[in-house]
Amino acid sequence: MAGDASSPEYTAEYKKAEQTALRLIARAEQCSRVLVYKLEKKKFNPHIIKDLIGHLEELDLVNDLRYAQLWLKTRIRNGNKAPRMLNMLLLNKGLDRETVKTALDSALTPEAETALLRRCIAKFDHDKNKNNTKTALRSFLKMQGFSADAINLYMEEL
């Protein structure tokens, strides 16, 4: 295939890739890296994928920060993964550290973090840590990435 963006072959494949991407976006919010991966699996030309992703980002149809915020909102509301694990999972999706940090900072309101912390407590093995349980629990929560404020608030309630 010619690399010329004005060639009919390029234009036809671009339109096909665009239709595929828009179908994926219509089903669920997409981050750029995962969308690139899905288009690569369908054997689209890498130059077309790059051009298309740039265009979709300009149109705000692909927005990594929005994707991360929505992804986090669902995981925080329904899950018991700690902030450190959520951070790692987003990084594994190919999002950059700054985007992940910004998304976590906005998604982990004090109320959301406290609710998540309570669900994560269930993972703490109290029997294994019978001696000095509060200290062990505090250490566990800190290692999981919870803020000192959220940990202190929870400990005051005990």
Model confidence pLDDT, tens digit, residues 99-115: 999 999 999 998 889 88
- Structural domain span for residue 92: 65-157
- How many domains in the chain? 2
Statement: residue 2 has pLDDT above 50? no
Do 80 and 139 lie in one domain? The reply is yes
From 52-56, 107-111, 136-140, 149-153, the region with the lowest mean pLDDT: 136-140
Do 71 and 23 lie in one domain? The reply is no
Model confidence pLDDT, tens digit, residues 53-89: 999 999 999 999 999 999 999 999 888 789 999 999 9
Do 92 and 24 lie in one domain? The reply is no
1 in a structural domain: no
62's CB contacts (< 8 A; 6+ apart) are 25, 30, 31, 32, 35, 53, 56
pLDDT at 114: 87
Amino acid of residue 31: C
* Prediction pTM value: 0.79
Percent of the chain whose pLDDT exceeds 90: 58
Do 21 and 91 lie in one domain? The reply is no
Do 84 and 133 lie in one domain? The reply is yes
Do 113 and 142 lie in one domain? The reply is yes
Which of 24, 45, 62 is the endpoint of a domain?
A: 62
The span from the CA of 36 to the CA of 50, in Å, is 8
What is the distance, to the nearest Å, from the Cα of residue 23 to the centroid of all Cα atoms in its chain?
20
Do 76 and 89 lie in one domain? The reply is yes
| Residue linked to tokens 């976006």 | 25
Distance spanning both ends of the chain, measured CA to CA: 67
Mean pLDDT of 23-33: 96
Do 122 and 99 lie in one domain? The reply is yes
The span from the CA of 136 to the CA of 152, in Å, is 14
Which of 18, 33, 62 is the endpoint of a domain?
A: 62
3 in a structural domain: no
Residue of 86, 79, 72, 58 lying closest to 144 (CA atoms)? 86
2 in a structural domain: no
Do 122 and 56 lie in one domain? The reply is no
pLDDT at 135: 83
